[in-house]
Amino acid sequence: MIDDRGPVVHQALLIHRLIELRRGNGLTQEKVARSLEWSHAKLMRYEGGTQVLPKADLDALLDLYGVLGTAQGRKLQEIGRRARDKPWWYPHRHALTVEERYYVGLEMGAARIRQCAPTLVPGLLRTRDYAHTLCSMTDPDGEVDRLVEVLMGRQGVMLTRNPVPEQVYVLDEAVLQRVVGGREKPGVMVRQLHHLVERSASVKLRIIPEEAGLHFGVLGGFTLFDFDEGLPPVLHTEHRGRVVASKKEEDVHSYAEAFDRLVEEHALDGRRSLALIEYHARRLQDRTNAEASDGRAEAHVNSVETSAGAGEDPGVPAGDLLAVSEPRPPPPPPFPAGPGAEAGSE
């Protein structure tokens, strides 16, 4: 099926099919290179995905493999044409690293995305303000606006994909508690938490509560991309500032098993995950309101003291000051007190 999966995935699909054809014809890379009077290195670059196949070279391979002019050959020519297309983010390419371009390309064409996020909200779920705050911190003198636009573009592409890929996200509760924006801009995080609630209607969100203790995800975030048409999955890991993509079967299998364990053994189910996000949104909003009230109360007290010094009757009921000085207790968390604990147990 030819669709809107983008040039990176179409390139991978084309290479996959060409390697199958070469092996099906009993040809080695050396034999193909000699037959076409190419260097061995040139064919290796094509099959390794480091160089996009020009139309003339693709046709030469299809002719050698006996499919030029057939329905199969025409389909591969169409895939090749799409692999040569410029991606939507091409105008912003200078703001992205090579690794980031590859990641965005995989994301654009994946059939399923599974991501573990132990520290920050995943990119596809971020609000513009949250993203801008992060980019301003990591790239204060760089292309903050351009990076945010790329992220918003990624989200737009995901929402208009046909079909929309399945998305499953596992977040540590610390992600909900970390107030990106700080005390100066608490509204950034409040809006982000509400956005997560909204997005939970179209993606699967699972939260690992702090009571779960240590788990595989604390070692570093990772993403698993799955594809249609027999393309092998790709693992993308982040650890100590290093970003690594791997197609090794043992790596992908190991992390896929770890992701399943996080969902089944550590994370809350969908309903309780949503309740926990809503709890933190209310808690932060209440805290923000209380701090704002404290600020107004302090200003009022200063005004009262000024008035009292001038011999005026302030007329401030003591109860009003007590009301703003006593923080409203947060609601109980919507999950058991610990693993295996039952509601209402001692």
pLDDT digits (tens, 9 = 90+) for 147-167: 999 999 999 999 888 888 999
Query: How high is the pLDDT of residue 333?
Result: 53
Q: How far is CA 194 from CA 50, 103, 198, in A?
A: 41, 27, 6
Separation of alpha carbons 93 and 167, rounded Å: 25
Closest listed residue to residue 274, CA positions, set 337, 211, 199, 340? 199
Query: How high is the pLDDT of residue 83?
Result: 95
Amino acid (1-letter code) at residue 266: H
Strand partners, 228: none
Mean pLDDT of 68-89: 95
Is 320 or 82 the better-scoring residue by pLDDT? 82
Confidence class of residue 342 from pLDDT cuts 50, 70 and 90? very low
Closest listed residue to residue 165, CA positions, set 229, 246, 107? 107
Query: What percentage of the chain reaches a pLDDT higher than 90?
Result: 67
Amino acid (1-letter code) at residue 286: D
Separation of alpha carbons 6 and 85, rounded Å: 8
Mean pLDDT of 75-81: 96
Query: How high is the pLDDT of residue 322?
Result: 30
- Its pTM surpasses 0.75: yes
Amino acid (1-letter code) at residue 239: H
Confidence class of residue 94 from pLDDT cuts 50, 70 and 90? confident
CA atoms within 13 A on the CB side of 294: 10
Strand partners, 113: 167, 225
Confidence class of residue 290 from pLDDT cuts 50, 70 and 90? confident
Q: How many CB atoms lie within 10 A of CB 306?
A: 11
Is 10 or 142 the better-scoring residue by pLDDT? 10
Mean pLDDT of 264-292: 92
Separation of alpha carbons 204 and 241, rounded Å: 27
Give pLDDT tens digits for 197-214: 999 999 999 999 999 998
Amino acid (1-letter code) at residue 70: T
pLDDT tops 50 at residue 339? no
Ramachandran quadrant class, 241 (left: phi over 0; alpha: psi -120 to 50; beta: rest): left
User: Checking DSSP bridges between strand 242-246 and strand 234-239, what pairing results, if any?
Assistant: antiparallel
Confidence class of residue 82 from pLDDT cuts 50, 70 and 90? very high
Confidence class of residue 287 from pLDDT cuts 50, 70 and 90? confident
* Interacting residues of 228 by C-beta distance below 8 A, sequence separation 6+: 1, 111
Query: How high is the pLDDT of residue 238?
Result: 83
SS3 assignment, position 58: helix
Separation of alpha carbons 126 and 136, rounded Å: 14
Mean pLDDT of 108-125: 96
* Residue 239: both structure tokens together: 């650890």
Query: How high is the pLDDT of residue 332?
Result: 45
Give pLDDT tens digits for 20-59: 999 999 999 999 999 999 999 999 999 999 899 999 999 9
Q: How many CB atoms lie within 10 A of CB 273?
A: 26
Confidence class of residue 296 from pLDDT cuts 50, 70 and 90? low
Query: How high is the pLDDT of residue 183?
Result: 86
Separation of alpha carbons 333 and 283, rounded Å: 10
Query: How high is the pLDDT of residue 72?
Result: 97
**End-to-end distance of the chain based on CA atoms, in angstroms?**
57
